[in-house]
Homo-oligomer: A and B are copies of this chain.
Amino acid sequence: MAADEVGEFERIRRFFAPLAGPGGLGLSDDAALVECAPGHRLVVTADAIVAGVHYLPDDPPDLVARKLLRVNLSDLAAMGARPLHYLLTTALPPELGPDWFARFASGLAEDQRRYGIDLLGGDSVGTGGPAVLSLTAIGEVIAGEEIRRGGAKPADLVWVSGTVGDAFLGLALLRGAYPDLAAWDRAHLIRRFQLPDPRTELGPRLCGLASAMIDISDGLLADLRHICETSEVAAVVEMGLLPLSPSARSVVGSKADMLPRLAGAGDDYELLFAAPVGATEAIISLSSSVDIPVTRIGSIHAGTGVRLVDADGRPVPVEATGYRHF
C-alpha cells in the first residue's frame, strides 16, 4: 500500500492494515501476493464511485464502503466466481477526519467477515475535489466454468434472482417520492438502494447451469440487452412475471405504468441469466438450497433486441432506461 504523506501512513496503519489478509503482507510491501489454486482462473473487476455522483457526501461511511465492495462482488458473482480479495484506492478531501475513516473501515471489516474476503493493498491520496473511491475485486473460478455474457442460445429461458425495481424505488424515496408509504416499506426499499445484496452464494453454483449471466446495474432490460448483443440473440421479457417485493407492490399498487419503469430500473445487483430449458429443475432446486428466489421472466430467441410484452404478448413501450445518478 502506497501513501503520499506521513498522515497517510498512520491512516493505513490504524484503519487499513487490520483488514489485510496474509497475501497483503501487512500492507508494508511494494505489492501483494495472490495464490491461484491449480485448475482455477482468477477473475478481476474494478469499479469507482464519486461523492455527489454515486453516493451523497453525508451518506454513512460504513454503508458507502460496503456498497462499493458489494457492487464489485456482484460483478464477480455474475461470472460465477467466488470472491477472495480486494484492493482499495481512496482519493479523499482533507475535511474527512479519523471518524469518517473509522466508520468506513468498520464497514469494510463487517463485509470482509460476511463474504470471507481480505484486503490486499491499494493507495491513499488526497484531492481538492470530491472523494473518489476505486476498488478492484479478485475472485476465482474453475478454469472453463466461468459464465460469460455471450453464451445465451435460442430457446433458453431468462431468469432473475430476488426482486427487481427495489433500488430504483429506494432512490425515489430518498428524493422525496411516495411520502405516504409505510415506514417498513420505506426502510426496505431504501436499504435495497443503499446496500445491495450481491448473490455470491448463487452465482458460483450456476456454473454448468447458466449459459450467460450479468448482474443488474444499468437496468434489467439494458443488462439483458448486453447479454443479447454479446450472444447475438433476442429476448422477450413477460412484464407480469417480474418478481416484485411486497414493498415494491405497495408502491406500484394499481399504477400499471410503473411496471415498465421497474423493468428498466438499475442498481438492484440481482443476477440475470439465461439457461437451457433442461436446467430448470436444477435451478429451482438450487434456489431452494441457497434460499434465494429465482424467477423465470422470459425467453431467448433468434434475432436481435429485447422486448417487454404484456400477458397477451403485446409489446409494452419502455422509457429510456439505465443507471441514474443523483
| A interface list, Cβ under 8 A from B | 2, 4, 6, 25, 28-36, 38, 40-50, 52-54, 75-76, 78-79, 81, 87-91, 120-123, 125-130, 132, 134, 136-139, 141, 143, 146, 148-149, 213-215, 217, 226, 230, 322-323, 325
- 6 new A-B contacts, CB < 8 A, other than A2-B75, A38-B38, A128-B130, are A29-B230, A30-B214, A32-B45, A33-B41, A48-B89, A127-B129
A44 to B2, CA, bound (A): 12
* CB atoms of B30 and A45 under 8 A apart: yes
Q: Please, which residues of chain B bring their CB within 8 A of the CB of A4? A: 53-54, 323, 325
Q: How far is the CB of A266 from chain B (nearest CB, A)?
A: 10
* CB atoms of B29 and A44 under 8 A apart: no
* CB atoms of A30 and B130 under 8 A apart: no
Instruction: Answer whether A30 and B75 are a contact pair too, CB < 8 Å, given A50-B126, A91-B50.
Output: yes
Q: How far is the CB of A292 from chain B (nearest CB, A)?
A: 18
Instruction: Answer whether A89 and B47 are a contact pair too, CB < 8 Å, given A34-B41, A41-B33.
Output: yes
- Interface centre among A50, A134, A215, by most B CB within 10 Å? A134
- Of B29, B78, B128, B132, which contacts A149 at CB under 8 A? B29
CB-nearest residue of chain B relative to A79?
B31
* CB atoms of B127 and A46 under 8 A apart: no
Q: Please, which residues of chain B bring their CB within 8 A of the CB of A214? A: 30
- Of B31, B127, B134, which contacts A45 at CB under 8 A? B31
A56 to B81, CA, bound (A): 39
* CB atoms of B149 and A48 under 8 A apart: no
- Of B33, B48, B122, B230, which contacts A91 at CB under 8 A? B48
* CB atoms of B78 and A31 under 8 A apart: yes
Can you list 27 contacts pairing A with B, beta carbon distance less than 8 Å? A4-B325, A28-B149, A29-B79, A30-B45, A30-B149, A31-B79, A31-B81, A31-B139, A33-B43, A33-B146, A34-B36, A36-B41, A42-B42, A44-B87, A46-B87, A46-B134, A47-B123, A48-B134, A49-B125, A50-B127, A52-B128, A53-B125, A53-B127, A53-B128, A125-B132, A129-B129, A129-B130
- Of B35, B43, B50, B75, which contacts A34 at CB under 8 A? B43
* CB atoms of A36 and B29 under 8 A apart: no
A129 to B325, CA, bound (A): 16
Q: How far is the CB of A12 from chain B (nearest CB, A)?
A: 13
Q: How far is the CB of A221 from chain B (nearest CB, A)?
A: 15
CB-nearest residue of chain B relative to A203?
B30
